[in-house]
Amino acid sequence: MDSSKYNILRVFALVCFGVIVLRLFFIQIVERKYKSSADSNVLRYEVQYPPRGEIFDRNGEFLAQSREAYDLMAVPRDVLPFDTMLMCSIIGATPESVKAALDKARAFSPRQSSAILKLLPKETKLKLEELSFPGFYLQYRTVRHYPRKIAGNLLGDVGEVNEKILERDLYYRPGDYIGMSGVERSYEEVLRGRKGVRISMVDVHGVHRGSYMNGLYDTLPELGRSITCTVDARLQQLGEELMAGKVGSIVAIEPSTGEILAMVSSPTYNPDDLVGAERGNNYAKLLNNKQLPLFNRAVMSPYPPGSTFKLINGLIGLQEGVLTPGNHYPCYRGYPVGRGVKCHGHASPLPLIDAVQTSCNSYFCYVFRNIVDNKKYGNLNSGLDRWNEYVRSFGFGRRLESDFKDERKGNVPTSQYYDRKYRDNWNSLTIISLSIGQGEMGCTPMQMANLSATVANRGFYYIPHVVKRIGDGDSLSRRFYEPQYTMVDPKHFAPIVEGMFKAVNRPGGTAGVAQIDGIEVCGKTGTAQTPHGKDNSTFLCFAPRNNPKIALSVYVENGGFGATVAAPIASLLVEQYLTGEIRRTDMLNSIKNMHINYPHYAK
């Protein structure tokens, strides 16, 4: 090789060496991202979960608390051979389940941490910390605890996020928990707080070597904020005891605020059953229960209101001018026109107040037909649609916009619906069952309780809600403080209220069983037909008559007449709330011991 070629080769080698040296200098000294990448191999990012906000009742009693729990985590590549039997004896798992969890974690990522077993109690955590299991560590969490074991459907539950939640909300990561139903779901962003992160250094064996940069890059979790519910825990518990062995719902409201004092869906469940390691098994049992304990009937069941709905038809008739309190209509044990509507025996003819008192079917058939056949509307379609507008102004046929995300609308039929159903061949007799809250009418127990609150307020209501305040007193959505007015003038409510008072407190009234010494209860019974078994028993009331403190609705499937089951339950709840005790112990024990057979739920 001649000298010129040798010199070229030597220069080329020197240039390559120089480039390599410069690149190494750039990588190690100038470009920090490579150092960060190397650091990431020995740094562990641990999510710091804040305690979930606590939930209180209106009197400061705990409804939901958070207690500490721990997830056993593992970084598969750092796991060294360990005493499997010893670990399993501590955590209460089988060797097969631990091996399966590790295999799954390894398949997901050998470098990233994965949960092996979740929600271990503090006692288990202390035992694990006394031993050494390289590659494993414990991550702090909180788990729900419900001290009074009540209001399962109202409070809801907390569960692990699924794929749909992960896709729509970037805040959550696999393994996070979220409110799945009830208050826990509606106020998730308030209750959850905000996650933090702690960066720790670990060696090649997964042994903790302290905080990275003395915690400079750590972020602290923000505690979830507490919630004070509107619910009275004692009233809620009594309601659940009275509804034991029955299917249906109770909703009680404070008329002056719209605050929900009690919300019972029966059958219900112990909210603690949906917490911890047994959550999955318990959830499956509840899901397969034919009586649907997970279904919140209070805001989701579209029941026919029955005779309680007569109050609305009477009010619409008064407002429309087709009815006056002095109008008398006959009753020959029913409405005699068309296919007829049966009625029970009572005096005849009756004025409006007495018709409410005795719950006369015939009377309100006359009223309903006068409303929808009113000639000023030109035709039946327009008359029915005007009736529909009135009914919707009472909160029926639409969501009330409460703070329950699962709230349903119910149903109030329109003329278009009947045109489709009967091919334009129908008249007011075809739909006469709407006069007594039957037929296509459907409403939730909360809507019925809201009707009671609306009559108690003589024409307006506040949107029902279950949260009183957030944290130290933050106000709720503005909509909960604005009165919602019906289309009926307040002056027309007087005869309806008088009829409800007489129904409870005067001879011949259908709700005498709801009478309470010293308290002016105003109520209305309802008996709603159903294709399964006996009629449904329903009752709504408020008390006292003037300046009412409580309004409620009780609905018991297959309970028979309104006065048989629903009215006594409502009366006992009113007595408890207004006096702080129940003196009618015979009635109390009778209702508690009453169990209704539901063969159709077993099919």
Measured CA to CA, the distance from residue 306 to residue 410 in angstroms comes to: 14
The string of pLDDT tens digits covering residues 525-569 is: 999 988 888 999 999 999 999 999 999 999 999 999 999 999 999
Least Cα distance to 393 among 493, 484, 491 occurs for 484
Q: Which CATH class is domain 44-229?
A: alpha beta
pLDDT band at 5 (very low <50, low <70, confident <90, very high): low
Measured CA to CA, the distance from residue 438 to residue 424 in angstroms comes to: 21
The string of pLDDT tens digits covering residues 263-278 is: 999 999 999 999 987 8
Measured CA to CA, the distance from residue 210 to residue 222 in angstroms comes to: 23
CATH of domain 233-595: 3.40.710.10
Same fold, 44-229 and 233-595: no
The domain limits of the chain are: 44-229, 233-595
Look at the block and give the residue holding tokens 């709407």. Answer: 434
The amino acid present at 242, given as its one-letter code, is L
Q: Are strands 55-56 and 208-211 parallel, antiparallel or unpaired?
A: unpaired
Q: 332 forms bridges with which residues in the sheet?
A: none
The H or E element that residue 588 is part of is helix 585-592
The string of pLDDT tens digits covering residues 301-346 is: 999 999 999 999 999 999 999 999 999 999 989 998 987 799 988 9
HEC assignment per residue over 517-529: CCECCEEEEEEEC
Q: Please compute the mean of the pLDDT values over residues 402-410 and round it to a whole number.
A: 94
DSSP letters for 139-161: EEEEEEE-TT---HHHH--EEE-
The H or E element that residue 320 is part of is helix 310-320
Residue 19 CB contacts under 8 Å (≥ 6 apart), including other chains: none
Q: Per-residue pLDDT for 400 more than 90?
A: yes
DSSP state of 479: G
Least Cα distance to 470 among 59, 53, 181, 156 occurs for 53
pTM assigned to the model: 0.88
Q: 140 forms bridges with which residues in the sheet?
A: 70
Measured CA to CA, the distance from residue 488 to residue 459 in angstroms comes to: 7
Q: Token pair for residue 481?
A: 């403080």
* pLDDT for the residue 12: 62
* pLDDT, mean over the chain: 91
* pLDDT for the residue 601: 84
* pLDDT for the residue 36: 47
Q: Per-residue pLDDT for 48 more than 80?
A: yes
Query: Helices 566-579 and 233-242: crossing angle, nearest 10°?
Result: 160
The string of pLDDT tens digits covering residues 491-516 is: 999 999 999 999 999 999 999 999 99
Q: Per-residue pLDDT for 21 more than 60?
A: no
* pLDDT for the residue 47: 84
Q: Please compute the mean of the pLDDT values over residues 130-146 and round it to a whole number.
A: 89
Query: How far apart, in Å, are the Cα atoms of 281 and each of 3, 273, 274, 287?
Result: 85, 9, 9, 10
The string of pLDDT tens digits covering residues 154-180 is: 999 999 999 999 999 999 988 899 999
Plot region of 145 (φ>0 → left; ψ -120 to 50 → alpha; else → beta): beta
The string of pLDDT tens digits covering residues 340-388 is: 799 988 989 999 999 999 999 999 999 999 999 999 999 999 999 999 9
Q: Token pair for residue 455?
A: 């009559």
DSSP state of 492: G
